[in-house]
Amino acid sequence: MTADAINQVLEAQHPALFRSLSALGRRTFYPQGIPYQAGQARGTTYNSTIGIYTDGHGGSVPLPSMAGAVNLPPDEMDRAFLYSPVQGIEVVRQAWRQWQRREVDEVLPSTVPVATIGLAHGLSLMADLFTDEGTVVAVPGPFWGNYRQTFGLRRGAELRSAPSHVNGVYDPQVVEKALGELPAGEPAVAILNFPSNPGGYSPTVKERQELVASLLRIAEQRPLIVVCDDAYQGFVFVEGVPRRSLFWDLIGQHPQLVPVKIDGATKEFSFFGGRVGFVTFGLQMEPEAASALEDKLKCLLRSTIGSPVALGQMILYQALKDGKAQDEVAMIHRQAEERFQVIQPALRALDPSLLRPLPFNAGFFALLEIPAELGIDADAVRRHLIAQYDTGVISVGPRFLRLAICSVAADALVELVRRVEQGVRDLAASP
């Protein structure tokens, strides 16, 4: 279908989504090019449509040295070495959907996930689809710096932030505050990342309720795309804090609120090198509208990366297909939780005149604030820690240090915290 035709479908059936599309988002459609024509010819005996080198009967022809490094049943081997469909391999999309919805009520609608190159690519697709020069994107701070490149530098969107925590307490109105005085009616995007990077925080039940209420107040005023960056989905270490994505709490809540889930195997399945992510919309869509939206994503996918990683999808499928995922992922969660339990007392013991940990209950990171009154630059501490203490941390803005608990062994965490504190003490003492 042409851009006009799919735009009409979306405008009629999902006006808030349609009004939020960028100029690029409106232009996109899936042209009747090679993948489209190849799709129509699928199953023909003399199929000479697609530019894949095959054995002549649809089978892959991997180089022996490369095939030897991949250990899959023959049919899955072919899928791993041949092109993935642009939207992802169907069995993998369905298996991921099942995984996403393992604790979700059947009545909540969600689209079939579209495969991306890890989560960064899902975010970049959302930036393409929903932001133009000057589109306002609300991002609670501190936030992952790459949002700035993906939405700001590339697309010219205007990132507006407000602090996630005020006096050490999560602020459920952070998105309203970040949006500020944006005129009513103007579409906006909000990015919500739980468990958060660099914050290491996931809201409690009550905070979530207040957050949802706040988002609904915004949706009364304007179309609102809520991008749930679920990279660290499941890594929650404190009893009573919900594990499941905020995405599910937003579905069907307001006609002007469009929930989007960006997730994938990178962190959830400890598969950093595979580059398998997904984009899912929390909308009840008729087949025609779902296909219109998927066509737009496919156009963006094809024009940026051709097709997603078939090999990564098929490796991920090994964990998904026999229901092994739950236990294997739980094993990683337990290990991560052990590190959490070890570092907690060390964080609590920090001298608050030097470092103040923000509430840390989830994810990969602990975030430490350097008190403003010390007048010390976080990046100076970072460089000092490398030079003097054989210790690497990330500086976030002028006053935060991020510690990646995920990449440090449990028995080294206490010493890590001690060294970071000592580094701050050194700089606090020197004029």
Nearer to a copy of itself, 208 or 261 (CB): 261
Segment 69 to 98, residues that bind a copy of itself, using CB under 8 A: 69-72, 79-84
Interface size with a copy of itself, residues (CB under 8 A): 119
143 binds a copy of itself (CB under 8 A): no
**Given 4, 55, 106, 239, the residue binding a copy of itself (CB under 8 A):** 55
Q: Which of 331, 374, 149 is nearest to 235 (CA)?
A: 331
Using CB under 8 A, pick the residue from 4, 45, 375, 429 that binds a copy of itself: 45
Task: Compute φ and ψ for 264, nearest 5 degrees.
Answer: 160, -175
Candidates 90, 103, 220, 328; binder of a copy of itself (CB under 8 A) is 328
For residue 430, state whether it binds a copy of itself (rule: CB under 8 A). no
Q: 32: helix, coil or strand?
A: coil
CA separation for the pair 283, 351 (Å, rounded) = 48
Under the criterion CB under 8 A, does residue 346 sit at the interface with a copy of itself?
A: no
Residue selected from 114, 191, 297, 416 as contacting a copy of itself according to rule CB under 8 A: 416
| Residue 341 engages a copy of itself in binding (rule: CB under 8 A) | no
- Kindly tell me which residue out of 108, 374, 410, 427 binds a copy of itself, with binding defined by CB under 8 A: 410
Residues of span 196-235 touching a copy of itself by CB under 8 A: 197
Instruction: Choose the stretch contacting a copy of itself; rule: CB under 8 A; options: 11-19, 159-167, 250-258, 398-406.
Output: 398-406
329, 232 contact by CB (below 8 A): no
Handedness of CA 8, 10, 13, 16 (dihedral sign): negative
Enumerate residues 368-397 that contact a copy of itself by CB under 8 A: 382-383, 386, 389-395
d(CA 263, CA 245): 10
- Cβ distance to a copy of itself smaller for residue 254 or 339: 339
Distance CA 313, CA 331 (A): 21
**Could you say whether residue 310 binds a copy of itself (CB under 8 A)?**
yes
User: In this structure, which amino acid lies at residue 6?
Assistant: I
Q: Does 279 bind a copy of itself (CB under 8 A)?
A: no
Helix (H, G, I), strand (E, B) or coil at 166: strand
Residue 149 binding a copy of itself, by CB under 8 A: yes
Q: What angle do CA 410, 415, 417 make, to 5 degrees?
A: 95
Measured from the CB atom, the residue of 208 and 296 that comes closer to a copy of itself is 296
Q: Residue 209 or 335: which CB sits closer to a copy of itself?
A: 335
The Cα–Cα gap between 77 and 84 comes to: 12
Sole residue written with tokens 């976080």: 378
What is the closest distance, in whole angstroms, from the C-beta atom of residue 274 to a copy of itself in the complex? 5
Cα distance between residue 7 and residue 262, in whole Å: 23
Pairing of strands 257-264, 277-281: antiparallel
Does 54 sit near a copy of itself (CB under 8 A)? Answer: yes
Rounded-to-integer distance, Cα 377 and Cα 381, Å: 7
